[in-house]
Chains A and B, each alone.
Chain A
Amino acid sequence: MDEERLYAWSNPWFRWSMVSLAALTVLSFLVGFVVLPSVQPDFTAGGIWTSICRAAGLPGSWGDGSPAAAKDRASTDVVLTLDMAERASGDAIGRGATIAVEQCSMCHGAQGISEANAPNLAGQYPEVVIKQLHDYKRGDRVSTLMQALARNLSDRDIADIAAYYDSLPKARTAPARYDETSAPALVRVGDPLRNIAPCIACHGGTDHKLGAPWLEGMPKEYLVVQLKDFQAGTRHNDSHAQMRNMSRQMLPNEIEQVADFYARRSKAGGGG
């Protein structure tokens, strides 16, 4: 039996399996790359070669190529990476403190806790501060005051300010928990059928996602304004439209409730 040669055209097993596999492959490629695309106008617009390329996942051009069009679509230029969240050196914190005292403390408070309904920055995640300052600087987030201040900051200044605020103690250190029954349902479990994810799935509590700010103890007015701006689309620097999508489904009283919950926790007193 073993004398029978397998890899020879005279062996019917070899012949038939090779021929049928090759025929099946060629046929399915022909149908998938030539026949099926030929009935799709957007595939065939540029001729047969373009249609084959498109079927292979290679469009002739990526987008329409113009930077203006790309700019219109993008909501932010900042790409969040894990290294932004790393703890900085003491030097960076020191430099950041110098800039912060001069330019930020008037509104955001001497210790990063605001008395003026500006967001608290004490203990804020560094990547959050970095992203927002870059967005202000490039005009992706709008505020007369903040845009003017951010315009003169270098990349390094921004990283240093973020490092400084990261080093300050938070108003309250424990995030809302999923089993805290006093928390509104939207905070704990969201509303699946309206596509609203729980706040604590990104902002800390069950999970923290890179770029999602620390909300505990934020001034209520600030939170309400931001949610409404997201809802109206006047704030649009959330890279995947995640906050615009969440807030669009929220009713005015729900915005109040959620903002109230996060703000009230600062009054419950420090530590924690």
Chain B
Amino acid sequence: MLAHFWVAFAAFLVAIVLGEWQMYVRSPLHAWVNNPEHYYRSVTAHGTVMAYVLPTLVAMGFGYAICELALKRPLIGLRWAWMGFWLVVGGTVMAAVTVAAGKASVLYTFYPPMIASPFYYIGVVLVVIGSWVWVALMSINLHAWKKANPGTPVPLAMFGNVAGAYLWAWTSVGAATEVLVMILPVSLGLKSTIDAGLARVFFSWTLHAIVYFWLMPAYIAFYTIVPRAIGGRLYSDTMGRVAFVLFLVFSMPIGIHHLFADPQVGAGFKFVHAVMTAMVSVPTLLTVFTIVASVEIAGRLRGGKGLLGWVKVLPWDNPMMLAVTFSFVMLGFGGAGGIINMSYQLNETVHNTQWVTGHFHLIFAGAIVTMYFMIAYDLWPQLTRCAPLPAGLIKAQLWLWFVGMMVLSMPWHLVGLLGMPRRMAYYDYTHPALQSQAWTVTASTLGGLLLVISAVLFVYVLARARSNAATPDTFTFSLAAYPGERTPVALNTFGLWVAMMIGLTIVNYGYPIAQLAVLPQTSVPAIPIGGP
């Protein structure tokens, strides 16, 4: 577990420096980067690490930890887990070297007909295969535990964990099909054309649901760690289970909202996907409600009275309290922006602008990664047998991250509305139309700088923990406000929800995929990347 976290955070540190470099070179503080190839190389590395490597390793490490801490038994298949880990590490190194060599500047979203060196795709595939080992182990461990504990409800943390694992298993099928069946044959030179439209539809299958895979560890932390850490109770265990299964059903068949501007998909399907996208706001709203209610319980337990009196007495000096507040603020802004993105018409205004970059940085790098930090801080005493980490430094780190992320992403939202395109290596600030927007890019660069400082502080706190050895208290998850509540079988098993997930995917994706697959003359010549 520890190894997963260390590799994840080391890669994270490198990628965040790359991200800041990207902001710096395209800000007015630096002359134009004359070779945009360097810029796209950096964007590819940043995206690949942040989107595939970091969340996968955190989900895997946290998942194994939950297995042992919540089920209170050793992990079955430890050797397999190590194999999965090394597959992820090997894949990461392979992809990173290929990107650094300039042979794979296709961004982490691949964008066929651009075609990179096969080593890049094979590297990403290895990362995904490594994570599939984790999926299988989670399922095996859950079933072994159930067999040994008939009639006992699965602990909420493990329930969410396995929901995340199943979600990822099905989510990754889209991009895996795209890479293995469509891209790799071209990349290996067996074919010279590719059906870019179909490939993009396959990628959209993964592209949106992957966000919920990133999000699962954060939500598990909301439900099972936050209430305990701030001295409260979880308002409703059932609500947590409902949120997890709703993610399972609705996160997949909605990805076509990323293709609103793509001509190869019919308008009807775009609308249906927009509707289903709206549905994923339901589990998030349920979660916000439940967690705020749980926090209120903590406030009341501390003697808070009246309509809002409980807010004042909350443990504001507790890092977890700070983290969940920051996370919800960023989730609020990011979520509101997301509802604009998924609306078929409103999307027109912001499609492919900096607005979108701002949106996913707020949600992922803001709301979710803040909780990754807290997961690491919370687990660290267990993993390294150290004393609890210094709260002062943690709070400073969280403040830096929150302020940095807001300063980074709010200007992006603003200029996105003004039409600034994303994925640009440089902007011509001497042009009168752009001059008035130049300050926003400088502001984002400064926000990015705060994020780098915060990330360094984060790794420093974790690294220093070793010097402060101690025997940690037994790890506990939050207690429900009404313990002993009956858990219906529907919320203790996954069969129904997995069936709905697959069924809905077939309904929403079956026709567009089948139609594009049989339509003749839809392939275009591949564009190899990394030429002279």
Chain A residues within CB distance 8 Å of chain B? 1-2, 4-7, 11, 13-14, 17-18, 21, 24-25, 28-29, 31-33, 36-37, 52, 54-58, 79-83, 175, 178-179, 188-189, 191-193, 198, 201, 204, 206-210
For B431, the chain A residues whose CB sits under 8 A away are 193
**Distance (Å) between the CB of A138 and the closest chain B CB?**
19
A6, A28, A55: the one contacting B493 at CB < 8 Å is A6
CB distance from B524 to the nearest CB of A (A): 8
Pick the residue among B515, B525, B532 that contacts A175 (CB under 8 A).
Answer: B532
Residues of B within 8 A of A (CB): 32, 34-37, 150-151, 153, 189, 192-193, 249, 264-272, 275-276, 279, 424, 426-428, 431, 433-434, 486-493, 495-496, 500, 504, 507, 511-512, 515, 525-529, 531-532
**Bound form: Cα–Cα A17–B489 in Å:** 14
A11 to B359, CA, bound (A): 40
Which residue of chain A has the shortest Cβ distance to B278 in the bound complex? A28
A1–B504 contact, CB under 8 A? Answer: no
B271→A13 contact, CB < 8 A: no
Q: Find the B residue at minimum CB distance from A207.
A: B531
* A191 x B266 contact (CB < 8 A): no
Contact of B532 among A11, A14, A198, A208 (CB under 8 A): A208
CA distance A11 to B192 in the complex (A): 54
B490 and A11 contacting across the interface, CB-CB below 8 Å:
yes
Residue of B nearest to A174 (CB): B532
**Besides A82-B525, A192-B427, A192-B428, 19 new A-B residue pairs in contact (Cβ under 8 A), listed by A number:** A7-B495, A13-B490, A25-B504, A29-B268, A36-B267, A36-B268, A36-B271, A52-B268, A55-B268, A55-B271, A56-B511, A57-B268, A179-B34, A192-B426, A193-B433, A193-B434, A204-B531, A209-B531, A210-B525
| Given known A-B contacts A1-B492, A192-B424, A32 and B272 have beta carbons under 8 A apart | yes
A2 contacts B150, CB within 8 Å? yes
Nearest Cβ distance between residue B201 and chain A, in whole angstroms? 10
Least Cβ–Cβ distance between B93 and chain A, in angstroms:
25
B532 touches A13 (CB 8 A): no
User: Do A28 and B150 touch (CB < 8 A)?
Assistant: no
Distance, CA A81 to CA B115, complexed state (A): 13
In the complex, 21 of the A-B residue pairs with CB atoms within 8 angstroms, ordered by the A residue number, are: A1-B151, A2-B151, A2-B489, A5-B489, A6-B496, A13-B490, A21-B504, A24-B279, A32-B269, A32-B270, A37-B267, A55-B266, A57-B267, A82-B525, A178-B34, A179-B34, A191-B428, A192-B427, A193-B428, A193-B433, A204-B531
Q: How far is the CA of A24 from the CA of B488 in the complex (A)?
A: 24
**B508 to nearest A CB, angstroms?**
8
A207 touches B37 (CB 8 A): yes
Whether B266 pairs with A56 at a CB distance below 8 angstroms is: yes
7 tightest A-B CB contacts, nearest first: A57-B266, A55-B268, A32-B271, A13-B490, A82-B192, A28-B275, A178-B35
Chain B residue with Cβ nearest A52: B268
Residues of B within 8 A of A206 (CB): 35-37
Question: A33 and B268: CB pair below 8 A?
Answer: yes
* Chain A contacts for B511, CB-based, 8 A: 56
Which of B32, B492, B493, B529 lies in contact with A189, CB distance below 8 A? B32
Q: Which residues of B contact A4 (CB under 8 A)?
A: 488-489
Closest residue of chain A to B499 (Cβ to Cβ) is A7
Closest to A59 in B: B266
Task: State the CA gap A36–B272 with chains docked (Å).
Answer: 11
Interface centre among A1, A33, A79 (most CB of B within 10 A): A1
Cβ-defined contact, B512 with A57, below 8 A:
yes
A192: chain B residues at CB < 8 Å are 424, 426-428
**Residue in contact with A209 in the complex, picked from B268, B489, B490, B527, CB distance below 8 Å:** B527
Q: Which residue of A2, A57, A81, A191 is within 8 Å of B193 (Cβ)? A: A81
The smallest beta-carbon distance between B474 and chain A, in angstroms, is: 27
